[in-house]
Structure 1
Amino acid sequence: PNLTDLQDSHSTLQTEHSRTIGNLRDLQDSHLCLQTEHSSTTKNLIDLKDSHINLQIEHSKVTEILKDPIPWNIRGQIAEELDNWKENEKTFIKTNGAKRVLEYIKENRCVFVTASSGCGKTSLVRNVALQMQNEDYEILPVSNRKEIIKWYNPRKNMLFVVDDFCGTYTLNPTQFENWKNLMEALVDRKQSSCLCLVDYRFIRTGKCNICHSFCLVHVISDL
């Protein structure tokens, strides 16, 4: 070939080389775009997974709320009441009586705490209940037996705290028998316990015939 042919061939090769370099740059740019898209897709997938997990958690919470036999507004009232107990707890002086009741409630499903008026049995029982809360018991102050029937949950450790059991100054025998029957049913359930406050005059006058299945603790003025 002559010089002209060589020059033409060289020029053609340069053109092909430039085109090849251009195609390579296009491929590199395309690769970078794909990497960016892949990263974005991966991030979106992670976000979707996180969102799915959060939705599952929220769904579980809602399901638990719907299964909860205690209405949310009542739970709010109970939480506020327990906060008041904790606030009053700051001035409570630990006593042998509180230690005894704590030991008994761990060993028995149902404990009746009796005392004469003014001995501080309410503060004692609340102190014991708060200590049981630290041991993963759900504390539920109740004022009537229907609340225990409605709120009982076999999947939870529950401690029902009954204040002024069957009244403060009078005792209705029928009401007492209904309470006693319910307490006997609780004795057979390992997950639930019950702390009851009973005025000592009911015991002293024989008006309150506590079943032998229950633990009866009488606290005196020095607790």
Structure 2
Amino acid sequence: IASSVLPEHQSYHKCIRTLTKYNQPEFSNILAKWHMLQKIEKRASAYFLHVYQAVGRLGGKVLLDECKSLRTKTLDHSNHEIIKEINQARKEMQETKRDVVTLKMSFDSLKINYTDLNHDHNELIEDYGTLRNDHERTNNTVVELRQTYADTLPRGLRAKTKRTLENWVEDAKMHVETQKDKHIFECITRHQCVLVTGSFGIGKTSTMKNVALRMNESGYDVIPVIDDPRDILNFYNPNQGTLFVIDDFCGKYTLKSSQFERWKNLTDDILSIIEGGNCKIIVSCRLQVYNDSKFTTLSLFKNCICNLMSDNLSLTHTEKSEITFLFLRSDSSKICKLQNIFNCFPLLCKQFHDNPTSDITQVFTNPSPILETEINQLQKGRIYGKYCALALCVKFENSLHENVLTGDIDKKTRSLFKNICEKCNLDRGTSRLLLKDELDSLIDTFLINDHGCYRFKHEQYFEFFRCYFSQI
């Protein structure tokens, strides 16, 4: 265009100035297109320069020369096709880019929806957990209400019974299960009534509690009874297996007539209950109570008697060693040879555990503290018959023959009996046969009957009671 207007020797800028003078519309339009082409050329040159430099770095001089020739090469028909394909590819790339943007927006939207759904899901899980806990509490409440409605125990007594069993569980941590536990458990499984007896400190109460806990685990409702057998009649539940547990059921140190008579009078009623099969009774008493002559008239507990001092139920050497280690730990080796001196060995272990002293040997060879507690309880409980029986053994120098109690005696011996009875708060005319019954009740607890002669079981027992009764 410029060449048609201006001579060939004029420069580009001069050509532009000349065209501008004409100020014609077509020339203005041509100039605008010219400026646009000039800008495109500058950008293309910049892009080509970057490509040219990159090709030179990657392909070396050969490719660099090829790039130079391509810069000035005239486009043929095939090149036009390539340009079209490039333009078409550019359009497809732009469409793909738009699709990617659209997909990204869709993904972001889905991500937001997923976050909302996840939040709702977590809330539903929390609500479900809350509902499940509420459901469990409601079920427990319903069960408790049903039990309360069907429970024969008053609510206050039920709470007390629960605390008692919890204490028994805690005590069981210091209990060694022995052959006597297994035997008594088998007995209460087979029989409706079981009596556990033995001397003081031998482990009657501990064993009975352990057996009761095992019965509780088996599904029985365990109810400790203090001393009134009428509780069995009042709290028996025909729809629930029940085990009544009574410790020292007829008195602790001697047979108490009032308690004995209540049991005797209610025997038939209790038998009618236990015949149903859902009710069981396990009781304990000391040997001095069991040996009372009146006890033979109580038929309720004649079928199954477990004497912990019998040969088949007494503690074995291994069991005593286990008890020793449980209570004494590192000190257990110090008393290995002292385990068989006294029947109250388990009680001695417990007392040393509760009140350890420096002289462990003294504890297991001198039972004076335990004997003092026993004799004081006889005196405080006004159990003067047994108290007097022990005093008689002392006064007869640990050799009291039966014929002195059943046969004729001289005036001096009769006077001795009367004086001892009086000092022991008994009537001076107390029958010697009554005193013999008291002596018999103490056999295997404090005394033995050695071919018709009453003696203390251990020399230590005699020495203690001789000092105790020295003022009589």
TM-score normalised to structure 1 length: 0.69
State how far apart, in whole Å, the 2-side matches of 1:56 and 1:95 are: 40
Matches within 5 A, 1:129-168: 129-143=212-226, 144-168=228-252
Offset of residue 206 of structure 1: 2.1
Offset of residue 176 of structure 1: 3.4
Q: Percent identity?
A: 28
State how far apart, in whole Å, the 2-side matches of 1:207 and 1:116 are: 18
Assess if the C-alpha contact under 8 Å between 2:197 and 2:286 holds in 1: yes
Question: Cα deviations across residues 174-221 of structure 1 (Å, max 9, x unaligned)?
Answer: 223135334423431211111011221233232212427631111129
Output the amino acid matched with 2:218.
E
Determine the structure 2 residue equivalent to 1:74: 157
Question: Cα deviations across residues 69-88 of structure 1 (Å, max 9, x unaligned)?
Answer: 21112111111111110101
Larger radius of gyration: 2
State how far apart, in whole Å, the 1-side matches of 2:193 and 2:293 are: 20
Task: Go from structure 1 to structure 2 and tell me whether the alpha carbon gap of 1:124 and 1:105 turns closer, same or farther (over 3 Å shift).
Answer: same
User: What is the Cα-based RMSD across aligned positions, in Å?
Assistant: 2.9
196, 201, 216: which one pairs with 2:288? 201
Determine the structure 1 residue equivalent to 2:207: 124
Task: Go from structure 1 to structure 2 and tell me whether the alpha carbon gap of 1:149 and 1:94 turns closer, same or farther (over 3 Å shift).
Answer: same
Task: Go from structure 1 to structure 2 and tell me whether the alpha carbon gap of 1:83 and 1:153 turns closer, same or farther (over 3 Å shift).
Answer: same
Question: Cα deviations across residues 101-153 of structure 1 (Å, max 9, x unaligned)?
Answer: 10100000110111112211000000100111111111110122122111100
- By percentage of residues, which structure has more helix? 2
Task: Go from structure 1 to structure 2 and tell me whether the alpha carbon gap of 1:87 and 1:187 turns closer, same or farther (over 3 Å shift).
Answer: same
- By percentage of residues, which structure has more strand? 1
Offset of residue 55 of structure 1: 7.2
Unpaired runs of 5+ in structure 1? Answer: 1-49
Matched, 1:190 2:277: yes
Matched, 1:214 2:303: yes
Output the amino acid matched with 2:238.
P
State how far apart, in whole Å, the 1-side matches of 2:251 and 2:305 are: 18
Q: Secondary structure at the match of 2:295?
A: coil
TM-score normalised to structure 2 length: 0.34
Offset of residue 56 of structure 1: 8.5
Output the amino acid matched with 1:85.
W
State how far apart, in whole Å, the 2-side matches of 1:66 and 1:120 are: 37
State how far apart, in whole Å, the 1-side matches of 2:197 and 2:309 are: 9
What is the aligned length? 177
Q: Secondary structure at the match of 1:90?
A: helix
Output the amino acid matched with 2:168.
W
Output the amino acid matched with 1:147.
D
Assess if the C-alpha contact under 8 Å between 1:114 and 1:216 holds in 2: yes
Determine the structure 2 residue equivalent to 1:29: none
Matched, 1:91 2:174: yes
Assess if the C-alpha contact under 8 Å between 2:184 and 2:306 holds in 1: yes
Question: Cα deviations across residues 34-73 of structure 1 (Å, max 9, x unaligned)?
Answer: xxxxxxxxxxxxxxxx999x97985564344133221112
Unpaired runs of 5+ in structure 2? Answer: 1-131, 316-472
Offset of residue 94 of structure 1: 1.1
Task: Go from structure 1 to structure 2 and tell me whether the alpha carbon gap of 1:180 and 1:200 turns closer, same or farther (over 3 Å shift).
Answer: farther
Output the amino acid matched with 1:201.
Q
Determine the structure 2 residue equivalent to 1:14: none
Determine the structure 1 residue equivalent to 2:267: 180
